[in-house]
Amino acid sequence: MQANILHSDIVIVGGGPVGALAALRLKQAGRDVLLIEARAKDAPLRDARALALSWYSREQLAAAGAWPDSLPATDIDTVHVSQQAAWGRTVISRDDLALPHLGAVVDYPVLAASLGDALQQQGVAVCWQHKVTAVQSLARYASLTVEDAAGQRRQLTARLVVLAEGGALAETLPGIRRHVHDYQQSALLAEVTASLPHEHIAYERFADDGPFALLPHGKGMMLVWTRTPAEAQRLHDADEATVLAELQQAFGERLGSFRAIGARTVFPLLLRQLNRVVSGRVVMIGNAAQTMHPVAAQGFNLGLRDAVGLTELVAAAADPGDAAVLRRYAAQRRMDSHAVVGFTHGLIRLFDGAHPLVKTLRGAGMNMLDSLPPLRKRFAGHLVFGV
């Protein structure tokens, strides 16, 4: 850590997209902000995720200077929702909301690099390769213990600390508890190619063995397939022909035939949510506040809305860590957070099962949503802009 940095008005812990967006917005608002990130500045990111961003998220990143026109991303213009071997479907289009696109898919390392460039270009103070080992909230300021790559520790103070790192720091704070639900599921992630073009359509399909998404990704599709841990590992280890055949059986021929699948990654699926997102002068956003099932691709967008909501409130505050300011933030974000977590959690329960009667009822619900434009547009608006 630079020797002259002992205090900052606002300290953000975690330099992922959510923390970086918050830092950029606060810097643009003229606030004294310091970002602390555990990884080295030029360390390669080995993260296979492709992120599905809503149009609102994309616009917020663009406004912060982190989404240049040259950023390699694939637009989403339509979302097609269906279930395997049963009637009923919902199609959401960019025309429903009169938007240029519903969203975009971008590789995590690409977005992280773009955010890193924006942080440097806009002069945001960043302590790379530093780890916060402890945080404590006092009456007039918060205190952080920061450790550098050599193991040297220093104390840092701030009027507001924003945890965006997704780790365990939040659980050390008074009054904070984390609810954890293990779905007993894992997600298989891989890029696939098909014989027909995706035409910028994202597919969400509720298959008998688990829901999966196919996201437009360059000329191919990014597959996120939810299975039991054992089944996900089996598909990870299986030969290419086996995986493609099972995917073809679950999806059908809307994209023609699946021809190839790339490197596969498996990760477990858990719901984690804090009982509250504020403790004294410390506030939690993004994965520090909640992580959720990837169905409907809502978690990352919710985290970016956390960053936007917080910065809008504290940007002009005389004291960014004032209790009244943080209470307003918590109240404003509660509805969106609880609604999105409840929605994704409910989807997993609703589509868990292949009984013909249950599938018929689900199909009827999807057809009703599809056939009622006002209801469909309202639903689409919540997906893109939050609640």
Per-residue pLDDT reduced to its tens digit, 218-273: 999 999 999 999 999 999 999 999 999 999 999 999 999 999 999 999 999 988 99
Per the domain annotation, does 307 fall within a domain? Answer: yes
Average pLDDT of span 171-187: 92
Place of tokens 């404590």: 136
pLDDT above 70 coverage of the chain, percent: 95
326, 372 contact by CB (below 8 A): no
Would you state the pLDDT for residue 19? 97
pLDDT tier, 46 (very low <50, low <70, confident <90, very high otherwise): confident
Mean pLDDT of 52-66: 96
157 falls within a domain: yes
Q: Is residue 20 part of a domain?
A: yes
What b/e string do you get for 216-228 counting C-beta neighbours within 10 Å, with b at 16 or more?
A: bbeebbbbbbbbe
Q: What is the CATH number of the domain that holds 13?
A: 3.50.50.60
Mean pLDDT of 101-122: 96
Residue 79 CB: number of other CB atoms within 10 A? 25
Whether the pLDDT of residue 193 is over 80: the answer is yes
* Residue 162: inside a domain: yes
**pLDDT more than 90, % of the chain:** 71
Residue 1's pLDDT band, with cuts at 50, 70 and 90, is: low
Residue 382 neighbours by CB under 8 Å, 6+ apart: 339
pLDDT above 90: residue 383: no
Angle, alpha carbons 230-236-242 (nearest 5°) = 100
Pair 90, 369: CB distance under 8 Å: yes
The answer to the question of residue 337 being in a domain is yes
| Torsion angle defined by CA atoms of residues 325, 328, 329 and 333, in that order, rounded to the nearest 10 degrees | 180
Mean pLDDT score across all residues of the chain: 90
pTM of the full structure? 0.92
Query: What is residue 385's predicted lDDT score, i.e. its pLDDT?
Result: 80
pLDDT of the residue at 128? 95
Examine residue 300 and state whether it is found in any structural domain, yes or no: yes
Domain with 343, as residue range(s), is: 7-45+108-179+271-349
Residue 21 resides in a domain: yes
What backbone torsions phi and psi does residue 283 show, to the nearest 5 degrees? -130, 140
At 334-367, the pLDDT tens digits run 888 888 887 787 766 666 666 676 677 777 877 8
What's the structural domain count of the chain?
1
- 377 occurs within a structural domain: no
